[in-house]
Amino acid sequence: MLFQPQPKCHQRVKALSWKLRINVTLTKLGEGANKMNKWIITATSAAMMAAVVGCKSSSNSDTPQVSDEITPQSISLSYLGRYSSGVFGKSAAEIPAYDAANQQIFIVNAQKGAVDVLDASDIGNPTLITTLTVESVATGAVVNSLAYRDGYLAVAVEAASKTDPGYVALFDAATLALLDSKQVGAQPDMLTFTPDGLHILVANEGEPNNDYSIDPEGSVSVLRLDGNSLAEIKTADFSAFNSQAAALRDAGIRIFGPNASVAQDLEPEYIAISADSSTAWVSLQENNALAKIDIARAAVIDILPLGYKDHGASGNGIDVSDKDGTINIATWPGLLGMYQPDAIYAYEVAGSTYLVTANEGDSRAWGEDDQAYWDGDASKGFVEEFRMKSLTDSRGFDRRVGDDLAPQLHALAEGALINPSVFAYCGATIADRGTCGDDDKLGRLTIAWTDGYRKDANGDPVMFDSTGNENVAGDRLMYDNLYAYGTRSFSIRDADGKLVWDSADQIEQHLASADCMLGSNRDILCADYFNSTHDEGDTFDNRSDNKGPEPEGITVGHLGKKAFAFIGLERIGGVMAYDITNPAAPFFVDYLNTREDWTTEDPETVLSSVGDLGPEGLVFISAEDSPNGEALLVIGNEVSGTTAVYQINQVLGK
């Protein structure tokens, strides 16, 4: 979370007193509100009263007296406005943060390698004020991420060569003056303040270079704030786990980079922090794990495997084909999903911490643009993606050389089989995959060839011959399970990483339903553009073979006594809202997707009217901090290059 400051009383009142009103409208909500008519009352006047009461005191104490906050029955989302960079497909709007004191939005513009600063005082029409560069920090450096708190803007700065150590820079949010900068690990990305404001944590992802010849160690830097200075840096690294590689693999943690130590293989992605500022959890996306960190000691205290989702179980179906011309959400025994969360968020219920994860999925893919790699030079990269039908083709791997066959896979075997006892439902036999590899079955699905094949006690592959018999002289692998990237869901876990709840197949099911509508006016049927991609038009079902709607960004907002999760869907786009007040029983409340044009093959040609494509980062703005007195969401859309603002309407009726 990008933690927001608490403005002084007069600032809150000024922000809310611009217009005193109660707008009452009647709307029909979808399935999250049981399709009943509900009264939606915007909360401006209630928030105004709370702010005024909070400024009154019966003594000389500066402690505000705050009235009880209104708790909505539910919420709905509506489009308010956007700022467009005018740049398509180059990540010109990624990670947002909000400064309530100065009513401005900060947004990472990766195309510039900088931060765009937007005037948000007229929140329905954000406008560009200036652009903040980081050339004063390091020559050729670029911005990866940012966070705001209490007048400070913290920026993660990647070095000109991403495998070199990067920086955390601290700016005065009002003047944009550089206050301090400190060197951290390689490729610093997501960063955040602790809730107590005493530290900044940054995830140093440490990705390898394109040919995997340099692979920095992943780490998390903990920087202590002292006034305007970054006074102390500690590093939570993974070197203590280098001797535990086998045990970690046995526990289900994916460690498989070529010639990589554990510390090199683990790539910190996103950080969530406990309410008491003592503990952090870091997503290790490619590794399908979380790291748990003691902040005071800057020490990794545990690495938590996330397990796998059984897509053969009822309710866990997915659409696996982009070539069948229809929506087919079905269960597939033997197919397991790797959770692999990108964004994570921590929130507290009854004194217990829970983690909300957006289960995007991600693969290792380095050297994929080097033909020498595909021609067989394994030193030039590492790519773990492979289609199921190519993995199990009876003709073996040779026909894929020079195209999409990873040389590391070719070194293991000349082909692969699937376990007939697991995949008998689609006609697999001991030496024949049956119809499992057909394009309308599992054939088109992108899977990880690094997982699922049978191994001996030493971790070496057990070999089979082409007739399906185990044979030390054989040249075939045997896959007992197939592993897909991501789970097309979001999850809630406890502080030890144990799964509490998962959205199962709800996201794809909603997108396929007659209740789901696209566009800011909700007048386009979602099912007509099911699992479309974000950078092209006329792409029905295009992403069914690879991560589907792709939940990526997530944030949580509190309204009264309720907590709501907002999940950005990277590919089809839009934001889903869930009531997560009860971590064991969340429920869907709304979905808004403000892409307007779904048919133009090249959306860049209609950029001024296409809407918002490719949500990346989200930030929640409370009503008391909002320029218009309403709770808001700000979303950075990397494909359309737009920074969109959604209003969160509170449903207060019975």
State the pLDDT at residue 212. Answer: 86
Mean per-residue pLDDT for 54-76? 57
Mean local confidence (pLDDT), 400-419: 97
pLDDT of residue 353: 98
Q: What is the C-alpha end-to-end distance of the chain, expressed in Å?
A: 31
Residue 77 has pLDDT above 70, yes or no: yes
CA gap 305, 266 in Å, rounded: 12
Which among 282, 275, 274, 276 is positioned nearest to 301, based on CA atoms?
Answer: 282
The pLDDT of residue 68 is 59
pLDDT average, residue stretch 386-412: 96
**Is the confidence at residue 101, as pLDDT, over 70?**
yes
Confidence of residue 210 (pLDDT cuts 50, 70, 90): confident
Quick one: pLDDT at residue 634? 98
Question: In the predicted model, what is the mean pLDDT of residues 45-49?
Answer: 42
Tokens standing for 307?
A: 């397990």
Output the pLDDT for position 617: 98
Contact 362, 286 (CB under 8 A): yes
- pTM (two decimals): 0.91
Residue 101 in tokens: 């004191």
The stretch 65-71 carries a mean pLDDT of 62
Is 304's pLDDT higher than 80? Answer: yes
Q: Where are the beta strands (DSSP E) in 471-627?
A: 476-479, 482-485, 490-494, 499-502, 517-518, 524-525, 551-559, 562-569, 575-579, 587-592, 615-621
Of the pLDDT bands very low, low, confident and very high (cuts 50, 70, 90), residue 654 is low
- Which band of pLDDT confidence, cut at 50, 70 and 90, is reported for residue 499? very high
In percent, the amount of the chain with pLDDT more than 90 equals 87
Q: Distance (Å, rounded) from C-alpha 118 to C-alpha 207?
A: 31
| Calpha distance 545→462 (Å, rounded) | 28
Strand partners, 148: 153
The rounded mean pLDDT for the chain is 91
- Give the mean pLDDT of 232-236: 96
Q: Computed from CA positions of residues 224, 226, 228, 229, in that sequence, does the dihedral angle turn out positive or negative?
A: negative
- The Cα 353–Cα 297 span in angstroms is 20
pLDDT in tens, 522-553: 999 999 999 999 999 999 999 999 999 999 99
Element (DSSP H or E) covering residue 24? strand 24-28
Contact predicate 201/230, CB 8 Å: no
Task: Render pLDDT for 564-621 as a digit per residue (tens, 0 to 9).
Answer: 999 999 999 999 999 999 999 999 999 999 999 999 999 999 999 999 999 999 999 9
- Contact in structure between 71 and 594 (CB atoms under 8 Å): no
The pLDDT of residue 318 is: 98
